[in-house]
Structure 1
Amino acid sequence: MQQVIDYSVKLKFKNRRKAFILTSLLTFVSFFFSVFAAERTDLNKIKTALNKGVNISYLEQYWVNPEILYKIDIEPKLKAIAKAGFKTVRLPVAFDHYMADSYAELSGALIQKLHLIYSRCKQLNLNLVIVYHYGKLQNENLYAENDRIIRIWKQVIYSMQGYASNQLFFELYNEPTTDMDIWKSSITTIVRELRKADPERIFIIGGANYNGYNELLHMGRLSVDDGKLLYTFHFYEPYIFTHQGADWTAEKTFITGFPYPYKQNKMPGLYNAPANSSLAKDYERYPREANYSYLHQRIQYIYEEAKRLNLPLICTETGVINLADKKSRAAYLSNITSIMNEFSIPVILWDWDDKFAVMDNNKAIKQIRPWLKKD
């Protein structure tokens, strides 16, 4: 009888211990996911705040003497952007154009200019994204250039250390062109080192192939992701439309007049483009791609894959060159902003008043005003 009682006591003890272990495990899992959810909730708030942005073509202009650029007052431009309803300004900076030495020391005048622009943005209740444009990273100089990029950013970070992390954002490198595996290794190192210098700042990173979305999805979530990373892609499809006539593209055909949405009777001729050229292939696909349905399908794919990979998304560049006719440009911009908004992807248009201008007479064009007014 005593053995039965002892066995019963032991059984109860084992069951209680199992229950305790199970409860502890569930508590830990619940805590982990609550922390993860809190991180995501904060990033969702950040994403919402960053929406409705526009790029300013200014400090990325490496072809202009820095002394001329320093003298330009962009406050009137910032005021017009804020008045139009934009919430975020993305400021591309060709850091290598503003060096005090031949290696990695930034000019004090540039740092001072960045402080001034941030101050003006803050006064106008505009978020500011500073992004490194026209970097020199290549497959062959990975380690040396990683070091330069880190040194350059640390100067910006230390000089702007006290600025609000929910108003100032750093996009660490624009449109990398290295192989995908090299870029993933490089950006992992850069994020790891810069996080030591700025623990709270939201960093924005993209994929290889000029911030291509396929490359971003292939790269996936970085091992150093601490819940303070946003993942960006650029969207310029169909490229033959958004960059028609551009003089910096590989095949300088200067063909313009592509209608959006596609209309057969409005299409320009292909002229003498070789049959195997990318232009000829883009031209052949144009009837299938130059419409709302195609854009929606592409953005939906990006959104769903990013969601599966737990990548908080932002699109820091999309737009249409001003060589496209006004009606087609307006239709495209209306469609792309509407679709991005449907999938809660923050958009920063390229650009305010340069070759892809979204403004007319110092106001945002009519077709994107409904997007700007949405909460």
Structure 2
Amino acid sequence: MLRRTLVLISCFFLLEAAPVTAQNQEALRKITLSMGQGVNISLLEQYWASQQQLLTTDIRPMLESIAAAGFETVRLPVAFDFFMREGSTQLNEAILQKLHDTYMNCRRLNLKLVIVYHYGKLTDQNRETEPDRIIQIWKQVMQYMREFSSEKLFFELYNEPVTSAETWKQTANTIVKALRKEDYDRIFIIGGTNYNGINELLAMGKLPVDDGKILYTFHFYEPYVFTHQGAEWTKEKTYMTGLPYPFRKRKMPELKDAAPDSEVIKEFERFPRESNYDYLYSRIKKIKADADKLNLPLICTETGVINLANAKSKSTYLRDITGLMQQFEIPTMLWDYNDKFGIFKEEKVIKQLRNWLKN
């Protein structure tokens, strides 16, 4: 009896740690490439608005416009903590119903949906307790949407962590391991720390619990002083506007009021080298090559340019970066469709994206 028990235990651990097969990898690759061209919708991450406003906004016209433009995937950031019942870890029924309805509308329009947890509270100081709260949040979502296709609905488990690399890798591993028990087939999306930085993702590598159903995401906003020019939330780097893409010396604004050791001076020094197609090509090529060495299936869930940039520069940049991501088989989602980085009313941008959206 003891021998039989030991055999069963051994089989269990072998099953749990089973290596990812070539067949699994190819299946994940096909699903990943099918996500194709994506875009973020700014709505449910806006904790600064009222819940009633967010939950009653009719998302269908926006989804119809996205589908008509040729996009294949929608990424929906959600500030889950904003939709909690007071004093508990229970999500309001209304937010779960909103996610359910959004998926149903996406399915009707043949759009895939990525739901992502925005504005989480994980820190190095609460690393022992916060992962369980994150798991409890996701369990509710997964139980509510369990029956939906694992090839049409994806869960990005935590947006832009900012903890130490050690804390994040341990936390990500814990979350994935716990949630896999809830949904065996769902594809989870995980990024690196430092706001989903690509260098941090590559340093992290595959999670120990990787079972062939994990995509690894990064956010790409290089050069940052161009993509975020004029953004009020990172003033030291981005208070200047008028930066061109590609770089043209005669079109450059004068750098004023910068402290001698400020980050913006370093950014300006690099800008002539980085604000051009050749730099973007070499950067994306290296990212893909490094990821391939680690066998990391990549997806870029955010890239974009703020609307304060010149429309021609913005549209040219987005044309170049989406084309390069496609060339290196990295599905990409623009940030965003309808807010400060929006493309919804930008005719020049949509025109430049037509070749990308047709493929």
TM-score (norm 1): 0.89
Shift of 1:124: 0.3
User: Is 1:213 aligned with 2:195?
Assistant: no
2:48 aligned with 1:63: yes
SS at match of 2:299: strand
**Residue matched to 2:172:** 187
Instruction: Please tell me the root mean square deviation across aligned C-alpha atoms, in Å.
Output: 1.4
Q: For the residues of structure 1 that align with 2:149 and 2:127, how far apart are their CA atoms?
A: 32
Query: 234-243 vs 358-367, which deviates more?
Result: 358-367
How has the CA–CA distance of structure 1 residues 361 and 215 changed in structure 2, closer, same or farther, with 3 Å as cutoff? closer
1:262-298 deviation line (CA, Å, top 9, x unaligned):
0000001110101211111001110000000111111
The answer to whether residue 343 in structure 2 is matched with residue 358 in structure 1 is yes
- Corresponding position of 1:116: 101
Residue 250 of structure 2 corresponds to residue 265 of structure 1: yes
Equivalent runs, 1:153-168 vs 2, <5 Å: 153-168=138-153
Structure number with bigger Rg:
1
Tell me the residue number matched to 2:87: 102
How many residues align? The count is: 342
Q: State the secondary structure of the residue aligned to 1:365.
A: helix
Cα distance in 1, alignment partners of residues 316 and 266 from structure 2: 24
Give the aligned residue type for 1:102.
G
Written as runs of structure 1 = structure 2, the 5 A alignment for 1:49-60 is: 49-60=34-45
Deviation at 1:165? Answer: 0.5
| Correspondence 1:1-375 to 2 at 5 A | 36-251=21-236, 254-360=239-345, 365-374=350-359
Bigger mean CA deviation after superposition, 39-48 or 329-338: 39-48
Are 2:303 and 2:333, in contact at CA under 8 Å, matched by a contact in 1? yes
The one-letter amino acid paired with 1:180 is A
Equivalent residues of 1:260, 1:290 under 8 A apart: yes
Q: Which residue of structure 2 lines up, in the alignment, with residue 29 of structure 1?
A: none
Residues 255 and 36 (structure 1 numbering): CA distance in 2 closer, same or farther, change over 3 Å? same
Per-residue CA deviations over 1:206-264 (Å, capped at 9, x if unaligned) read 00000000000000011100000000000000000000000011517631000000000
The gaps in structure 2 that reach 5 residues or longer are: 1-17
CA 1:244 to 1:131, structure 2 compared with 1: closer, same or farther past 3 Å? Answer: same
CA contact (8 A) 1:84 1:364 kept: no
Equivalent position amino acid for 1:309 in 2: L
For the 8 Å contact 1:55–1:91, the answer to whether it is kept is: yes
**Which residue does 2:5 correspond to in 1?**
none
Counterpart secondary structure, 2:215: strand
- 8 Å CA contact 1:103–1:148 kept in 2: the answer is no
- State percent identity of aligned pairs: 58
Q: TM-score, structure 2 length as denominator?
A: 0.93
Distance apart, 1:80 and its partner CA: 0.2
Q: Is the 8 A contact 2:311 2:349 kept in 1?
A: no
Q: Which residue of 2 aligns with 1:24?
A: none
Q: 8 Å contact 2:25–2:212 — kept in the other structure?
A: yes
Greater Cα offset, 271-280 or 243-252: 243-252
TM-superposed CA distance for 1:102, in Å, is 2.3
C-alpha change, 1:196 and 1:174, in structure 2 (3 Å) is same
Given the superposition, is the C-alpha separation of residues 363 and 187 from structure 1 closer, same or farther in structure 2, using an over 3 Å criterion? same
Aligned to 1:26: none
Alpha-carbon separation, structure 2, partners of 1:244 and 1:225: 37
Q: Which SS does the other structure have where 2:147 is aligned?
A: coil
Q: Give the CA deviation at 1:364.
A: 6.3
Asked whether the equivalents of residues 311 and 348 of structure 2 are also in contact (C-alpha less than 8 Å), the reply is no
Distance (whole Å) between structure 1 residues aligned to residue 223 and residue 287 of structure 2 = 15
Q: Secondary structure at the match of 2:116?
A: strand
